[in-house]
């Protein structure tokens, strides 16, 4: 005869999963991601979330700093806020594409999506703020996926 198990033995251990966090999602595998947002806390938290899933992310809070980083090193993905006060995010994207043609990019904004004509090139995605973690990860993975 077996001993009855206590209720505690049947409870899962460890942290409870975040319902917004996709299960079984492959990591971003060391991708170098530049995150640009004029709200430093937003830039840092976005970078930290991406790092949690395997990216090597750097957060900056101005268009000028983003351009300096883009000129200094290659990146795998650019995530840029459209409404930067010092330099428009679309201008950062245009310069990034000159420095690194084909650089995947994700535009983020609390405003409506910019027109495709204003972009000159399609981007991997546009995310309206606030966006859930699952949409950020899906957009990042799609942008980093090899062309099919």
pTM summary value: 0.79
User: pLDDT for 66-98, tens place per residue?
Assistant: 999 999 999 999 999 998 999 989 899 999 999
User: pLDDT for 31-58, tens place per residue?
Assistant: 999 999 999 999 999 999 999 999 999 9
- Alpha carbon 27 to its chain's center: 13
Residue 14's pLDDT is what? 39
Residue environment code for 31-42, b if the CB has 16+ CB neighbours within 10 A, otherwise e: bebbbbbbeeeb
User: pLDDT for 114-123, tens place per residue?
Assistant: 665 555 556 6
Q: Where are the alpha helices (DSSP H) in 6-132?
A: 7-10, 40-52, 63-72, 89-99, 116-119
User: pLDDT for 3-17, tens place per residue?
Assistant: 444 433 333 343 444
User: pLDDT for 121-131, tens place per residue?
Assistant: 566 688 988 99
* Residue ranges of domains in the chain, CATH in brackets: 26-142 (3.40.50.2300)
* Token output for 18: 């975040």
SS3 84: coil
């Amino acid at each position: 005869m077996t001993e009855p198990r206590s209720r505690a033995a049947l409870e899962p251990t460890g942290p409870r999963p975040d319902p917004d966090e996709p299960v079984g999602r492959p990591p971003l595998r060391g991708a170098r991601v530049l995150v640009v947002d004029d709200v430093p806390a937003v830039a840092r938290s976005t970078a930290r979330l991406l790092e949690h899933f395997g990216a090597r992310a750097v957060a900056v809070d101005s268009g000028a700093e983003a351009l300096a980083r883009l000129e200094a090193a290659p990146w795998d993905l650019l995530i840029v806020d459209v409404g930067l006060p010092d330099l428009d995010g679309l201008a950062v994207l245009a310069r990034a594409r000159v420095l690194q043609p084909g650089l995947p990019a994700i535009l983020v904004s609390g405003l409506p999506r910019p027109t495709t004509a204003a972009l000159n090139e399609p981007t991997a995605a546009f995310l309206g703020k606030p966006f859930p973690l699952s949409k950020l990860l899906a957009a990042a993975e799609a942008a980093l996926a090899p062309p099919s």
